[in-house]
Amino acid sequence: MIFKKDNLTFGMILGLIAPMLGFMIFKWYKFGIFSMKEFFQFLYVEPGFRTLSAAMSLSLLANAAVFTLYINTAKDKTAKGIFVTTAIYGFIILLIKTFA
């Protein structure tokens, strides 16, 4: 099964996909009536990018869940890849919040 792999690259791929799913869940929950185009237009024109940084921050919770799953099953290389991508996402969010 694919989730039994213990590989750094696989962890980084999971670390990239999980926040995207979390972002889509945020869009569906908070902005369900808007199309994707309207949602991204709103994120772009909003002063200070508050909703964008909030959505990205909440989407990292999906990474936390996947990270916890792989730590608890002793798949340390995969967990390390997830952690690396989480740190990169966190740094990007920090830059958005600081300089926007």
pLDDT at 62 over 80: yes
CA dist., res. 89 & res. 95, Å (int):
10
Question: Three-state DSSP class for 73?
Answer: coil
Supply the mean pLDDT for the chain.
89
pLDDT at 91 over 80: yes
Mean pLDDT score, 46-69: 88
Question: Rounded to 5 degrees, what are φ and ψ at 5?
Answer: -70, 145
Domain ranges of the chain: 2-99
Q: Are 16 and 82 in contact (CB under 8 A)?
A: no
pLDDT at 43 over 90: no
Percent above pLDDT 90 for the chain? 56
pLDDT at 2 over 70: no
pLDDT at 1 over 70: no
Q: What is the pLDDT of residues 23-41, one digit of tens each?
A: 999 999 999 999 999 998 9
Mean pLDDT score, 52-73: 90
CA dist., res. 96 & res. 52, Å (int):
9
